[in-house]
Amino acid sequence: MKLLSLIVVCLTGGLLLYGTADLPDWGDPNAPASLHLSNYYIENAVRDTQVPNLVTAVLADYRSVDTMFETAVVFCAGLACFLLLRDFTPKKDHYYRHVPTGVILHVKNPDRQVIVGNEFEDIDKEWLPPDTIIKTVCRMLIPFIQIYALYVVAHGDFSPGGGFQGGVIFGSSLILLAISYNLKYLLKRVSEKFLGILSAAGVLVYMGIGVVAMVLGGNFLDYEKYAPIFGEHHIRALGMLGVEIGVGMAVTAVMVIIYINIVSEGKHDEGL
Amino acid sequence: MTELFMLIAAKYNYWLYIILMMIGLYAMIAKNNLMKKLVGMNIFQTAIILFYVSIGFKHNATIPIIMGDHGHGGHGAAIHAADYINPVPHVLMLTAIVVSVATFGVAMALCVRVYQRYHTLEEDELRMRLSEK
Amino acid sequence: MIHYPAVVVIASLLGAFIAGILAWVQERYTYPAALIATGISCAAAVWDLIYVAGHGPIAYHMAGWAPPMGIEYRIDTLNAMVLVLITAIAFLNLAASWPNVKQEMPDRSPSFYVMYLLFVVGLTGVASTGDLFNLYVLIEITSLSSYTMIALGDRDRGPISALNYVFVGVIGASFYLLGVGYIYIKTGTLNMAEFAAMIPNIQDSTTILTAFILCIVGVFIKMALFPLHVWLPNAYSYAPVGFARIVAPLMTKVMVYVMVRLMITVFGLDYIFIKLHIADTIVWLGTIAILAGGVMALAQTNLKKMLAYIIVCEIGYMVGGAWLGNDSGITGAVLHILNDGIMTFALFLAVGNMVYKLDRVEIKDLKGLFAGMPWTMTGFVLAAFSIVGVPPTCGFFSKWYLILGAFEAGAWHFAAALLISSLICAVLFFKVFEVCFFESPDTHDGPGSDAHGHHTTVAIQEAPAISLAVLGIAGISLIVVGLYSKTIVVRLIWPLLNP
């Protein structure tokens, strides 16, 4: 196996090296790749779309369909983790901790759903109290991370950033909550149902903007057609902001879905 | 000999990406542990991303965010294409990164499923278990 | 403004996300939503086909930007035909698989339908896009959804075969992506039509040669051409029935479509057959794939595995035919995409019905099936005749064009492989028929267990009516497509080759 793979690797590498002979030098400004489309975008994108960040302009306007399918790929990954790992079998043993006293109750094979009051906490068998320092620091950090995430989404048009980056940052703030407390603490605040709907709704926002443009008489995702409603000024930039928000929603939800399912093997207990 | 070195020096980005990619490919084919294979897969995809991003680079150019007040009214000086690097590879790679992350997530979920069932991620052990039945 | 090219893809995608929300809010509406979405896609695809056959290609500019800047969806007769095939199979299979999905995954069927729609979106997108990079993204949607679905099948083997499929699939898709990178670095464009116009000026470049090899090898891996086929039989035979029925007829066929598209539209037949001298080698590869697939199918004892190896064999037909380098060969290959899609669909429908009642389909378990499930077996026999190539069914006509092409090109080995494989398929299917028809079901069980034996009493019954109705439609279309082969070739395939 090792020898075979070495042969395959050498053959592929040889083919690729053979292909480099004809390629332009690194950083050559006159390479064909840097002349044709690239020049059009650099010279005209600001006039066409009023968005100074060319990457966003190309991503969310000229090649917006690519980005829509990419968001669909993200949604697909989240759904895949849910489908593959989510374990619906009910647990046999339940443990409840009485918060004021710290007494732990063990309920074996309950016949029906156990309803507990606010002073009880549903915990795992191997339960450890969360560390106070970590808890406090994370609680202070998380709001700032989330505001930064919203900033990154909103400023995708003008500076590096956009829906994917912002969504990942927002999602990681929720994951931080799950790490510093535990998974159940996160799921009490952000339910699985909410995440599932948010991930689909995010892409639906993106698609909705495209479909409404079709209804208004343009091609799919042609933001120009919104001009009669929102005015001519910066209409394409507005459309891009709209789809970035959709992308941000979907990515946030999917990051958390992937995390909670992989980390608890789909059982949604306390996780790591 | 000097010519060869000059050739390599001018195109060293391609050589680097090919070496990185071959490391990833080797790991994907030859490694025994499924997790190591996944890491190899990530290296493999990252190499392609680096290749694309290196296509976009231009000497003496800056990031593709138009400076000045072109965005607000467009009365400023004309934009020179040579001043900004090529935005297209970055756009494409933003998509490819997301795709590779999604693939990695799905592959991890599959690994967890395999581990739940067989309690091992070593390929030879898995093969032994499968042939037993 | 004609919106139908976009509607084909968007209807399913919109359906996927609406169903994704409904799965959480009102579970029971998920299935109707999915059915309506694929139905709309199918109607739009049929409309596309009618329009394209009369008026010539449609170009749809996504986001309103003209091609080199924006992404173009370009529908010509080839796409339109493949799109109708995809959406019709998706719709019919969804209708037929309702009982199977309910049986196999009662707790997560809503998510299954959402994933199914995403898979359909990927396939329709691959078949309609005119942009090289967009094609990559869509291939990845298709692959991701099929990895997941395959892992949902068999509890023991499903995840492992899916994981192997992930490794192979990622290598294939990455090679394709790298090929697109080489095309981009040499030309600066990602649009298929614009690149095709540039090719005569740069055809001596080694970069273009490398790009071509990378793209084609990537597609070969994805379509499971013989030495690269190892992932396919396990993946397809351990997938859940509702999904195996769509992935087996469509996934490889759509990848063959991508290959034909790369040959005809992107690199151009002139570049491939005049500039490069690799056509003979690839016809040989096709020949070997046909023979190897056939021989390996002979060795199988499981019906699903046997059919999976027949798919490997059929891939050889299409690859070899497309690379023969004459019109008959390509006509045969393109016609075979359509025919093989329908044939495989009918076969897997019948197998799905058997699995629904029998739970497992080792060939020795199928005893007495003709008596128990006469309608299912009729459909199975019809599809098997078509695979073998018995005249009124469609399989005969595409094989006819392929053999004609092989004779014109002087590729005797390919013609011989086609005939031998027909013989092998005949042997294979008659082996199955023999077990199903002549052997009585109770030879294995003792006389006591026969009276109240759970297994045998269940096997006597026929599959649900909806599955049978869909099988009937597939069986009839096998003959109808066969009878109208000449029309399809003249109206849809020749305009493509001689524009």
Cα–Cα distances in angstroms (integers) from residue A58 to residues A45, A167, C154, C211, in the given order: 8, 19, 43, 24
How far apart are the CA of B29 and the nearest CA of chain A, in angstroms? 6
Single out the residue of A199, A228, A202, A203 nearest to residue A215, CA to CA.
A228
Alpha helices of C224-359 — where are they, by DSSP H? 231-238, 241-261, 269-270, 279-298, 303-322, 327-358
Task: Give the position of tokens 């409904």.
Answer: C22
Which letter does DSSP use for residue C199 in this model? G
Amino acid at A21: A
Q: What is the pLDDT of residue B111?
A: 93
Determine whether the interchain pair C167/B99 forms a contact, defined as Cβ–Cβ distance below 8 Å: no
Residue C46 banded pLDDT, cuts 50, 70, 90: very high
**pLDDT, tens digit (0-9, with 9 covering 90-100), for C190-234:** 999 899 988 888 888 888 899 999 999 999 999 888 888 888 888
Find chain A residues with C-beta within 8 A of B19's C-beta.
13
Residue B71 banded pLDDT, cuts 50, 70, 90: very low
Q: What is the pLDDT of residue C122?
A: 94
How far apart are the CA of C132 and the nearest CA of chain B, in angstroms? 11
Residue B133 banded pLDDT, cuts 50, 70, 90: low
pLDDT at A86 over 90: no
H helix or E strand, kind and range, residue C73: strand C72-75
**pLDDT, tens digit (0-9, with 9 covering 90-100), for C233-256:** 888 888 888 898 999 999 999 999
**pLDDT, tens digit (0-9, with 9 covering 90-100), for A208-257:** 999 999 888 888 888 888 888 888 888 888 889 999 999 999 999 999 99
Point out which residues pair with C74 in neighbouring strands.
Answer: C59
- Report the mean per-residue pLDDT for chain A: 87
User: Could you give the CA distance from residue A46 to residue A164 in angstroms, rounded to a whole number?
Assistant: 22
Phi-psi region of A190 (alpha: psi -120 to 50; beta: other; left: phi over 0): beta
Q: What is the pLDDT of residue C451?
A: 42
How far apart are the CA of A71 and the nearest CA of chain B, in angstroms? 8
Task: Count CB neighbours of B75 within 10 A.
Answer: 8
Single out the residue of A265, A263, A256 nearest to residue A91, CA to CA.
A265
Phi-psi region of A105 (alpha: psi -120 to 50; beta: other; left: phi over 0): beta
Which letter does DSSP use for residue A105 in this model? E
Q: What is the pLDDT of residue C458?
A: 47
Chains in touch with B (3+ beta-carbon pairs under 8 Å) read A, C
Cα three-residue angle C240-C246-C249, rounded to 5 degrees: 120
Q: Which residue did the predictor score with more confidence, C381 or C456?
A: C381
Q: What is the pLDDT of residue B77?
A: 60
Find chain C residues with C-beta within 8 A of A77's C-beta.
144
Q: What is the pLDDT of residue C401?
A: 92
Q: Residue B32: what are its φ and ψ, rounded to 5°? A: -95, -30
Task: Give the position of tokens 């190309």.
Answer: A58
Q: Which residue did the predictor score with more confidence, C41 or C491?
A: C41
Determine whether the interchain pair C144/A77 forms a contact, defined as Cβ–Cβ distance below 8 Å: yes
Across A80-90, average pLDDT: 87
Residue C454 banded pLDDT, cuts 50, 70, 90: very low
Find chain A residues with C-beta within 8 A of C112's C-beta.
83
Q: Residue C463: what are its φ and ψ, rounded to 5°? A: -70, 170
Across C94-115, average pLDDT: 87
**pLDDT, tens digit (0-9, with 9 covering 90-100), for B43-68:** 999 999 999 998 888 888 888 888 76
Task: Give the position of tokens 């049978």.
Answer: C468
Determine whether the interchain pair B103/C155 forms a contact, defined as Cβ–Cβ distance below 8 Å: no
User: Could you give the CA distance from residue C386 to residue C483 in angstroms, rounded to a whole number?
Assistant: 12
Whether residue B129 lies within 8 A of chain A, CB to CB, comes out as no
Instruction: Tell me whether 0.85 is exceeded by the ipTM.
Output: yes
Choose the weakest-confidence range: A18-27, A196-205, C63-72, C273-282: A18-27
pLDDT at C443 over 60: no
Whether residue B24 lies within 8 A of chain A, CB to CB, comes out as no
How far apart are the CA of A199 and the nearest CA of chain C, in angstroms? 9
Q: What is the pLDDT of residue C442?
A: 56
Point out which residues pair with A95 in neighbouring strands.
Answer: A106, A123
Amino acid at B52: Y
Task: Count CB neighbours of C108 within 10 A.
Answer: 18
Cα–Cα distances in angstroms (integers) from residue B18 to residues A18, A232, B51, C221, in the given order: 11, 48, 9, 20
User: Could you give the CA distance from residue A235 to residue C64 in angstroms, rounded to a whole number?
Assistant: 14
Enumerate domains of chain B plus CATH numbers: 2-64+79-132 (1.10.287.3510)
User: Could you give the CA distance from residue C338 to residue C333 in angstroms, rounded to a whole number?
Assistant: 9
Task: Count CB neighbours of C277 within 10 A.
Answer: 8
Q: Residue C495: what are its φ and ψ, rounded to 5°? A: -55, -25
Which tokens in the block code for residue A37? 């489309």
**pLDDT, tens digit (0-9, with 9 covering 90-100), for C389-429:** 888 888 899 999 999 999 998 889 999 999 999 999 999 88
How far apart are the CA of B59 and the nearest CA of chain A, in angstroms? 5
Cα–Cα distances in angstroms (integers) from residue A26 to residues B51, B61, B93, C70, in the given order: 11, 13, 18, 27
pLDDT at C274 over 70: yes
- Burial tier of B51 (Cβ tally within 10 Å: 0-12, 13-18, 19+): buried
Task: Count CB neighbours of B29 within 10 A.
Answer: 18
Q: Calculate the CA dihedral of residues C309, C313, C318, C319 and round it to 10 degrees.
A: 100
Residues belonging to chain B: 133
Q: What is the pLDDT of residue B8?
A: 76
Which residues, in sequence order, are CB contacts of C338 under 8 Å at separation 6+?
A: C81, C82, C85, C394, C398, C481, C488
User: Could you give the CA distance from residue C323 to residue B111 in angstroms, rounded to a whole number?
Assistant: 39
Single out the residue of C274, C230, C379, C259 nearest to residue C330, CA to CA.
C259
Find chain A residues with C-beta within 8 A of C62's C-beta.
64-65, 219-221
Q: What is the pLDDT of residue C499?
A: 67
User: Measured in whole angstroms, how far is the alpha carbon of residue A244 from the centre of its chain?
Assistant: 11
Which residues, in sequence order, are CB contacts of C272 under 8 Å at separation 6+?
A: C212, C263, C279
Which tokens in the block code for residue B45? 């995809």
Mark which residues 43-72 of B lie under 8 Å from A by CB.
Answer: 54-61, 63-67, 70-72
Across C445-458, average pLDDT: 43
Point out which residues pair with C58 in neighbouring strands.
Answer: C75
Q: What is the pLDDT of residue C445?
A: 45
- Per-domain residue ranges for chain C? 278-499
pLDDT at C382 over 50: yes
Alpha helices of C152-190 — where are they, by DSSP H? 158-187
User: Could you give the CA distance from residue C60 to residue C66 in angstroms, rounded to a whole number?
Assistant: 9
Single out the residue of B87, C6, C99 nearest to residue A215, CA to CA.
C6
Across C465-485, average pLDDT: 90
Mutation target to probe the C interface, by most C beta carbons within 10 A, among A66, A197, A207, A211 is: A66
Find chain B residues with C-beta within 8 A of C137's C-beta.
95, 99
Find chain C residues with C-beta within 8 A of B111's C-beta.
163
Amino acid at C407: F
Cα three-residue angle C422-C374-C354, rounded to 5 degrees: 75
Rg (CA), chain A: 25
User: Could you give the CA distance from residue A244 to residue A259 in angstroms, rounded to a whole number?
Assistant: 22
Instruction: Count how many Cα atoms sit within 13 Å of the Cα of residue A93 in the half-sphere of its side chain.
Output: 8
SS3 content of chain C, % helix, strand, coil (to 5): 80, 5, 15
Which residues, in sequence order, are CB contacts of C449 under 8 Å at separation 6+?
A: none
C58-61 and C72-75 beta bridge pairing: antiparallel
Share of chain C above pLDDT 90, in %: 46
Mutation target to probe the B interface, by most B beta carbons within 10 A, among C170, C182, C217 is: C170
